[in-house]
A and B are shown apart, each in its own frame.
Chain A
Amino acid sequence: MVRLITHNLLGCHVKNCNANNFPLEFKNARVELVEAEFNPDFLRNFLPKIEWKALVDTARQLGDTSLPVEQPEMVDDDFLKALHHVLLEVHVEEGAMVCPNCKHEYPISNGIPNMVRSYSFEGYNTDPLTIPTKLLAEHEIA
């Protein structure tokens, strides 16, 4: 259930990975389509905040070509319905998101992306990847 609206807001946050780290690329994505309530006012107001190219490219990678490469000047109902579907009804349930820059993989399991990264910044652990192994194992296996 990483929907494309959420995907459009996420970026890689590996330490020192600060450029070309958006959008994350889906890998082995298992997609489910789930109907959601259509709210044109929400979409109209949210539209200017979308990273458009990232949304269109990602939708195409997942096999949906309904959105135009350029945002249309005329925002009509057909366009909003296509946007609604891409943003809110395409759920990635399993797979991973990969940073285009550092190639770090953020796994998605049962619809929940694992974005856990930072642990210590006070010098106790120098490796920001250090995750208590017990917690990691429990969830990675599940």
Chain B
Amino acid sequence: MPPRALEAVRIESNEDPADFEAKNVHEIYDAIASHFSSTRYKPWPIIAKFLSDLPTGWVGFDSGTGNGKYLPLPADRPGAIWTIGMDRSRNLLDIARRAGEGKVVREVVWGNVLDNPWRPNAFDYAISIATIHHLATHERRKLAVQRLIQAVSADHGRVLIYVWAIEQDELSKRKVSVEDDPEANEKGKDVMVPWVLSKTLAKPSPETSQPEVYNRYYHMFAKGELAALASDAAKDLGLSVGSRESCSSTPGVEIVQEGWERSNYYVELRRWSK
């Protein structure tokens, strides 16, 4: 199948971004939950490594957990750490509760990534994988990063964030043309991504034999945008950004790694204080 061009979208200035997200993200995931989940089973290497490097006894949360595929990790030390899943889609949470092998029930919480339902600094780590790109404005994406930073320990908290990149690899079925849109390389691009609901999972509809297509909203991040967002988010919380050694004012956040993996950008943050 040739790469599909994605439909660009503009969020009108008089539109409430919360309503926009409810319609173009939350409702879609609730509708496609079971099919979506059946396609999401393999943890990505960098995320699996992040979780498997965490010390025993650490607790964290997964903001936008989807079908909860990261909740059972690390596979080689089950139960060594404790990850609570949070998602806005109630239907995905019902799936996430049963994530992984066997009858183990996972802890999940129904919440928006902009919510702050946690005791401050209660966690040792937080991850947010393929979630923040569903927020419709820069300010909201920044707030989502701040929620992660606020939820983890000011001394040692670690945060890992993945978002969809404007740079798509060849394996990706989707292609975004940015040649005609030079702004996209700087500011990212807002697009609608179609999800074609598998016929076997779709409710039989006698009127049409067409597959059901659901469009989800994404903000595709420009190169460097995620690290800049994280840095702004931390600064706005009054935190220093940089290494513990290099900053004079405490507490702070250090960006310990950032990069691109399989059509996504990621960034890892560590909090420190002295």
Interface residues of A (CB under 8 A from B): 1-3, 5-6, 8-13, 22, 34, 36-37, 39, 41-47, 49, 51, 91, 106, 110-122, 124-125, 130, 132, 135, 139
Q: Of B39-47, B78-86, B199-207, B214-222, which binds chain A?
A: B78-86
Lowest 8 CB-CB distances: which A-B pairs, in order?
A: A45-B57, A124-B16, A115-B117, A115-B111, A119-B18, A120-B18, A39-B79, A132-B22
Please, what's the 1-or-0 string for B83-97, where 1 marks a CB less than 8 Å from any CB in chain A? Answer: 010101010011001
A34 to B102 Cα, complex, angstroms: 14
Beta-carbon contact of A9 and B118 below 8 Å: yes
Main secondary structure of the interface of A (DSSP, over half): loop
Q: Are B22 and A118 in contact (CB under 8 A)?
A: no
B residues less than 8 Å from A110 (CB atoms): 94
* CB proximity of A71 to chain B, nearest CB, Å: 15
Q: Count contacts between A and B, CB distance < 8 Å.
A: 126
A–B pairs, 24, beta carbons within 8 Å = A1-B97, A5-B59, A9-B84, A9-B119, A9-B123, A10-B109, A10-B118, A11-B119, A11-B120, A12-B117, A13-B116, A22-B119, A34-B105, A42-B80, A46-B58, A110-B94, A111-B105, A112-B90, A115-B111, A115-B115, A117-B111, A118-B115, A122-B17, A130-B18
Give chain A residues whose Cβ lies under 8 Å from the Cβ of B86: 115
Shortest Cβ distance from residue A51 to the other chain B in the assembled complex, whole angstroms: 7
Q: What A residues does B140 contact at CB under 8 A?
A: 122
B61 to chain A, nearest CB (A): 8
**Interface set of B (CB-CB < 8 Å, partner A):** 16-19, 22, 26-27, 30, 55-59, 61, 78-82, 84, 86, 88, 90, 93-94, 97, 104-105, 107-112, 114-120, 122-124, 137, 139-140, 143
**A121 to B116 CA separation, bound complex (whole angstroms):** 13
CA separation between A56 and B137, bound complex, in Å?
42
| Distance of A44 Cα from B108 Cα, bound (Å) | 23
Residues of B within 8 A of A12 (CB): 117
Q: A6-B109, A9-B61, A121-B143 are in contact. List 12 more A-B contacts (CB 8 A).
A: A1-B105, A11-B120, A13-B116, A39-B80, A42-B57, A45-B56, A47-B57, A112-B97, A115-B115, A119-B114, A135-B26, A139-B90
Most buried by B among A5, A9, A13, A130: A9
Residues from chain A with a CB closer than 8 A to the CB of B27 are: 135
- Contact indicator A112/B84 (Cβ below 8 Å): no
A116 touches B88 (CB 8 A): yes
Minimum Cβ distance to chain B for residue A9 (Å): 5
- Name the contact of B112 in the complex, choosing from A22, A37, A119 (C-beta under 8 A): A119
Interface pair A125/B111, CB less than 8 Å apart: no
Residues on the A chain within 8 Å of B143, using CB: 121
Bound Cα distance A81, B19 (Å):
47
Nearest-neighbour CB distance to chain B for A68, whole angstroms, equals: 20
Pairwise interchain contact B58-A114, C-beta atoms closer than 8 A: no
CA distance A43 to B81 in the complex (A): 10
Residues of chain B within 8 A of A13, CB atoms compared: 115-117
B109 cross-chain contacts in A, Cβ below 8 A:
6, 10, 112-113, 115
Please, how many angstroms separate the alpha-carbon atoms of A122 and B111 in the complex? Answer: 19
Inter-chain contact B57/A118, CB cutoff 8 Å: no
